[in-house]
Amino acid sequence: MPKKYVQIDPRDNIIVAITDLQEGTITDINGIKIILKENIRAKHKFAMQNFGIGDEIYMYGVLIGKAVKPIKSGCAITVENVKHASSAYNSTKENFKWTAPDISKFKERTFQGYHREGGSVGTANYWLIIPMVFCENRNVDVLEAALSEALGYITKKDFAVDTQALITKYQSGADEEEIFATSIIHTKDEISKNRIFPNVDGIKFLRHDGGCGGVRQDSEALCSLFAGYITNSNVAGATVLSLGCQNAEVRQLQEFIEQKDPDFSKPVYYLRQQNSRSEREFIEEAVKRTFIGLTKANKSERKPAPLSKLILGLECGGSDGFSGISANPALGYASDLLVALGGTTVLSEFPELNGVEQELINRCETDKAAKKFAALMDAYAAAAKAVGSAFENNPSPGNIKDGLITDAMKSAGAAKKGGTSPVVDVLDYTEKITRPGLNLLCTPGNDVESTTGLAGSGCNMIVFTTGLGTPTGNPIAPVLKLSSNTHLYEKMKDIIDINAGTVISGEDSIESMGVKILDYIIATASGEITAKANLKGQNDFIPWKRGISL
C-alpha cells in the first residue's frame, strides 16, 4: 500500500503529503503523532512541530525557509507563512567519501553508436545548418524546404488539424457555438519516406535571433556554442551561412572549434552571402555543399561502444512537489550508475542549486573546482540582485501551485538529479566537458537555454524530469522526458517517455527506477527507441545571452 505522507530526511521538520489528506487525519512520524488542522493537498507540506516567527524550516535535510508567521503543528506550509532562506557556504571542502552503486548488471553492456575520430562516440548522426546571424534565418528556411522532404526527413505526425472545416462552417453562417463544436482534429497516418542517406538521422537547422547587435560578449558566446555543437559527437558536419558583416565572425567560430578539438576533421562548409553574386547562387551552393556533406556523413554506421562514451545531461523543468522524491533521485541513481561505469553526467541550472552549494562544494574532487563553483554561484546571485531580482524569485507559479514554495526547496529537490557521486569538474557556459564523472555546468534556470547549453558542452543524451509536463527537445541530443507522477504520464504520454510515478505508488524503489532509466537511455542511444521529443520534431535551441534567466 503506497504511503500517504513521507519525511524525506530525518532532519526535516516538515512532511510531504503523498495523497490529499483531510483535516483531522492523525499522522505518525517515527512515533510522533500529528493531527492535521487543515486539509493538505498532495505534493504540499505540513508542519511537524510548532514554528514561531523566524524559526528555520528544513526539508531534504537542508534549510529551505523561515517562518514569517506562527505555524502550528499539522498546518500547511505556504507562501503566506514561509519565506525563502538558505544556508551560507564557503569554498572550503569537507571530507567526502562515495560508495558507488552495484554496476554488475551493466558491466558488459554496450550501446550502438557513431564512432568519431578522436575517440568520442555519438548517439545520433546529424548534419547542421547554422546561420551566423539572424539575417540568414530566411535562407535557412529556404534550405529546410529544399532539403528535408526531398531527402526523406519528415517528422512523424499523429494527427492533422482541419482548419478548412472551420472556414466552411463560417462561410455557411454558423454561429460561435456551432463553430466551436466542429471536430477539426483527425488521426493522420504516419508520413514515412525512405531516407536517401539512411545513416544520417537528420538535418538540423539552428535558427536564432543573435549574431549581431547587443554586446560583443553575446556574439562570442554564440560562436563558442556553435563550435560546441559542431564538435559534439552527435554531429557529422555542418553548413555555415554567414552574411559577412556580423559580430559573430566565422574566424571566431573556427578558433573556438580549434580550442575544443585541436584534431578536428569533420566537413564544415562556410558560405558568405556578401561574396555571392546573388541570393540564388548563394542558396544553390549551400544546397550542393550540404548534399555532398551528407554523402560523407552517410558513411558512418552504428557500432558497439562502451557505456563510458555516454555523456548524459541532467535537466528538469515544470517541476512539482514529487519531482524531488521520485524522478530526480531516480535519475540521480542512474547518474551514479553511469559514473561508476566510467561515463559522464552533467548537472546544470545554477539558479536551482541555491541552498545546496556546500554539499556540492564538499563533493568537489579538487579545491580548484570548489572555488570555481562558489565563484560562479556568487557571481550569478550578485547579477540577479543587481537587476532587482534574486534566487528567491525563482519558483514559477506552476511550481508553487504544485508544492514548491521556496527556491531552496525547489533547488534541494532539483539537485537530486546529480546523485551522490564526486564532482570531477566545474564548467562555465559553453566550456567543453573533458573529464568523465559528474560535472557541474553553469547554465540559467530556463529549461531550453539550459538544454541548449548542455548539448553545446558535449552531452550526447539528455534526460529531462518534469512534474507538470514540458514539451521540449534539442536539435542534436535526444531528450528523454521522465515524469514524477503517474497522472502526468497517463495524461501526456505523447510527450513523456518514462514514468517515475511508480516510485510514489510504491511499485518501484529509487534504485530500481534508476536501473530502468539507464536501460532506456542505452536503448535510445543505440537507436532502438526514438525519444518522444524527436517524434514531435521539437528542436528547441535558445542561446543564453548571459543575462539573468532564473
Q: Compute the distance between CA of residue 525 and CA of residue 517 in angstroms, rounded to an integer.
A: 12
Tens of pLDDT, residue by residue over 491-531, are: 999 999 999 999 999 999 999 999 999 999 999 999 999 99
Q: Compute the distance between CA of residue 454 and CA of residue 474 in angstroms, rounded to an integer.
A: 10
Q: Please compute the mean of the pLDDT values over residues 121-127 and round it to a whole number.
A: 98
Q: What percent of the chain has pLDDT over 70?
A: 96
What pLDDT is attached to residue 545?
87
The mean pLDDT value of the chain amounts to 93
Model confidence at 256: pLDDT above 50:
yes
Helices (H), 232-326: 250-260, 279-297
Q: Please compute the mean of the pLDDT values over residues 103-117 and round it to a whole number.
A: 97
What's the whole-model pTM score?
Answer: 0.93
The residue that leads in pLDDT, 394 or 441, is 441
Confidence category of residue 80, pLDDT binned at 50, 70, 90: very high
Judge contact between 126 and 234, C-beta under 8 A: yes
Locate 344 and state its grid cell. Answer: 559522464
Locate 187 and state its grid cell. Answer: 488521426
Q: Compute the distance between CA of residue 200 and CA of residue 207 in angstroms, rounded to an integer.
A: 20
Residue 126 bridge partners (DSSP): 202, 235
Domain 5-84, CATH number (from 2.50.20.10, 2.30.130.110, 3.40.50.11740, 2.60.40.10): 2.30.130.110
Residue 67 bridge partners (DSSP): 82
Confidence category of residue 326, pLDDT binned at 50, 70, 90: very high
E strand or H helix that includes residue 534:
helix 532-535
Tens of pLDDT, residue by residue over 387-430, are: 776 666 667 788 888 888 898 999 999 999 999 999 999 999 99
What pLDDT is attached to residue 241?
98
SS3 per-residue string spanning 422-452: CEEEEECCCCCCCCCEEEEECCCCCHHHHHH
Q: Buried (b) or exposed (e) across 136-164, using 16+ Cβ within 10 A?
A: bbebbeebbebbeeebebeeeeeeeeeee
Domain coordinates in residue numbering, the chain: 5-84, 126-149+195-299, 157-190, 316-535
The four Cα atoms 380, 382, 384, 389 give a dihedral, to 10 degrees, of: 150
Phi, psi angle pair for 523, to nearest 5°: -65, -40
What pLDDT is attached to residue 191?
46
Tens of pLDDT, residue by residue over 155-214, are: 656 678 899 999 999 999 999 999 989 998 887 655 456 899 999 999 999 999 999 988
Judge contact between 314 and 463, C-beta under 8 A: yes
Residues in the chain: 550
Ranking 230-244, 388-402, 425-439 by mean pLDDT, the lowest is 388-402
Model confidence at 1: pLDDT above 60:
no
Cα torsion 284, 199, 233, 451: sign: positive
What pLDDT is attached to residue 394?
62
Residue among 94, 87, 93 nearest 368 (CA): 93
E strand or H helix that includes residue 513:
helix 510-525
Judge contact between 450 and 348, C-beta under 8 A: yes
Q: Compute the distance between CA of residue 485 and CA of residue 482 in angstroms, rounded to an integer.
A: 9
Angle, alpha carbons 171-175-180 (nearest 5°): 95
Fold of the domain spanning 126-149+195-299: Rossmann fold (3.40.50)
Tens of pLDDT, residue by residue over 356-386, are: 999 999 999 999 999 999 999 999 888 888 8
What pLDDT is attached to residue 550?
47
What pLDDT is attached to residue 538?
94
What pLDDT is attached to residue 446?
92
Tens of pLDDT, residue by residue over 138-157, are: 999 999 999 999 999 976 56
